[in-house]
Amino acid sequence: MPYTDSEASFRVHMAVDALGGLLPHRRERFEMLLRIVLEPSGEGGYTVFVPALPGCISEGETLDEARRNIREAISLYLESAGETNPPEGGVVEDIVV
């Protein structure tokens, strides 16, 4: 699928354990292809977000800087994804679909 000038895809490397939990300190890695959207910002520069990762957003003065910044944001987002703390009385479970 071709990408427009305001879209790009990135491969993100993260380590996983046998159950799929994220382990950023391990050497085993997998690649994840994610689409990002880069939009010109009203104040100059670019805002960039990942539609598949709600709330994962960054910015940069140039397209290259925005791409570097969103890579870091994606890594931080995925590292914290395994740290879900449910509200009192809630439960966190992993399911296979």
Per-domain boundaries in the chain: 7-81
How far apart are alpha carbons 40 and 30 in whole angstroms?
31
58: which residues sit within 8 A by CB, 6+ positions away?
Answer: 47, 48, 49, 66, 69, 70, 72, 73
Q: How much is the pLDDT for 11? A: 57
Tens-digit pLDDT string for the chain (97 aa) = 445 555 555 555 544 444 455 555 544 556 788 999 999 999 999 999 999 999 999 999 999 999 999 999 998 888 777 666 777 888 877 788 8
Q: How much is the pLDDT for 19? A: 47
Q: How much is the pLDDT for 93? A: 77
CATH placement of domain 7-81: 3.30.160
Q: pTM, whole model, 2 decimals?
A: 0.61
Q: How much is the pLDDT for 30? A: 66
55: which residues sit within 8 A by CB, 6+ positions away?
Answer: 77
